């Protein structure tokens, strides 16, 4: 007679390999069921995201000073940055395309140095616009200059620059002793009462850079002499 194999004694709490496989299958089935029962998340439609991005990237082109005054500070900064960067790239391309003998001449090195200084100072203006640290009067004034440059109204652009540079400094500038008798408003022309945009060193640098850019744009895109500034 054949002897039966002795049954393997199982310790209490111990499971056989077949039971382990069955348990794993049960766990997988439960996970699938839970996954099916989870509520569907509201995923944004790709078309909606694309439309939103296009809307954000849509160019805002002001047609008058009134339109500029209605624009928020954020868009004024973007409007200025786009035009100024395009003109800087054009300026840089022209400098790089010069012959070697012109680049190495005294006049050529001075032109290169002037451009680099202008570009560095305008980068500070871009950073200030991004961090919202530039005063609204500065951004508003620069945006008007940019609009006048696009319209080739160079006299108006120069007048706007002079308005920003002089500010509310009273006349006579630099003179505090105007007589032996005190008069009404005498204290307003003290040296410590004169305040305008150019008092800030950083602002003064990038406004001077804007003036240099104005001169370059006028040379590159001449128009009616009555609309140009004599240099």
Assign residue 209 the CATH number of its domain: 1.20.940.10
The number of distinct structural domains making up the chain is 1
* Token output for 13: 């709490």
Q: 37: part of which helix (H) or strand (E)?
A: helix 17-37
Residue 156 lies in a domain: yes
pLDDT of 68 reads 81
Assigned domain for 57 exists: no
Task: Give the per-residue pLDDT at 15.
Answer: 52
pLDDT of residue 194: 44
| Residue 174 scores a pLDDT above 80 | no
Question: Per-residue pLDDT for 192 more than 50?
Answer: no
Res. 38: pLDDT tops 70: no
Phi/psi at 72 (nearest 5 deg)?
A: -70, 160
Q: What is the pLDDT of residue 107?
A: 93
In whole numbers, what is the pLDDT of the chain averaged over residues?
75
In this prediction, residue 191 has a pLDDT band, given cuts at 50, 70 and 90, of very low
- 152 closest CA partner among 225, 93, 202: 225
85 part of a folded domain:
yes
Q: Has residue 201 been placed in a domain?
A: yes
Within a domain: residue 152?
Answer: yes
Residues 214-229: tens digit of each pLDDT: 999 999 999 999 989 8
In a domain, 121, yes or no: yes
Residue 86 pLDDT grade (very low, low, confident, very high; cuts 50, 70, 90) = very high
Residue 164 lies in a domain: yes
Q: How far apart are the first and last CA of the chain?
A: 124
DSSP per-residue letters across 128-185: HHHTT-S-HHHHHHHHHHHHHHHTT-HHHHHHHHHHHHHTTPPSSTT-----SS--TT
DSSP letter (8 states) at residue 193: T
Inside any domain, residue 91: yes
Give the phi and the psi of residue 7 in degrees, each rounded to 5.
-70, 135
Distances (CA, A) of 137 to 6, 52, 63, 73, 128: 97, 30, 19, 10, 13
Range of the domain at 101: 71-175+187-227
Whole-angstrom distance, CA of residue 41 vs CA of residue 49: 16
Q: Give the model confidence (pLDDT) of 49-64 as tens digits.
A: 655 555 545 556 777 7
pTM for the structure as a whole: 0.64
Question: Quick one: pLDDT at residue 40?
Answer: 45
Closest residue by Cα to residue 196 from 227, 225, 167:
167
Residue 130 has pLDDT above 60, yes or no: yes
Q: Which residues of 90-114 are buried (b: 16+ CB within 10 A; e: fewer)?
A: ebeeebeeeeeeeeeeeebeebbee
């Amino acid at each position: 007679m054949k002897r039966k194999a002795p049954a393997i004694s199982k310790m209490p709490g111990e499971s056989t390999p077949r039971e382990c496989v069955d348990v794993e299958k049960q766990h997988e089935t439960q996970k699938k069921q839970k996954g099916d029962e989870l509520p569907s998340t509201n995923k944004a439609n790709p078309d909606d995201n694309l439309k939103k991005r296009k809307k954000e990237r849509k160019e805002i082109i002001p047609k008058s000073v009134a339109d500029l005054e209605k624009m928020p500070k954020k868009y004024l900064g973007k409007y200025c940055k786009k035009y100024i960067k395009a003109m800087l790239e054009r300026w840089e391309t022209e400098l790089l395309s010069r012959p070697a003998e012109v680049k190495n001449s005294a006049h050529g090195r001075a032109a290169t140095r002037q451009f680099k200084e202008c570009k560095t100072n305008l980068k500070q203006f871009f950073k200030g616009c991004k961090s919202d640290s530039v005063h609204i009067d500065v951004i508003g004034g620069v945006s008007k200059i940019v609009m006048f440059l696009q319209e080739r109204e160079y006299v108006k652009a120069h007048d706007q620059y002079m308005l920003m540079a002089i500010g509310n400094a009273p006349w006579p500038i630099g003179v505090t002793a105007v007589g032996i008798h005190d008069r009404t408003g005498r204290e307003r022309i003290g040296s410590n009462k004169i305040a305008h945009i150019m008092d800030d060193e950083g602002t003064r640098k990038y406004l001077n850079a804007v003036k240099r850019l104005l001169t370059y744009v006028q040379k590159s895109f001449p128009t009616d002499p009555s609309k140009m500034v004599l240099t």
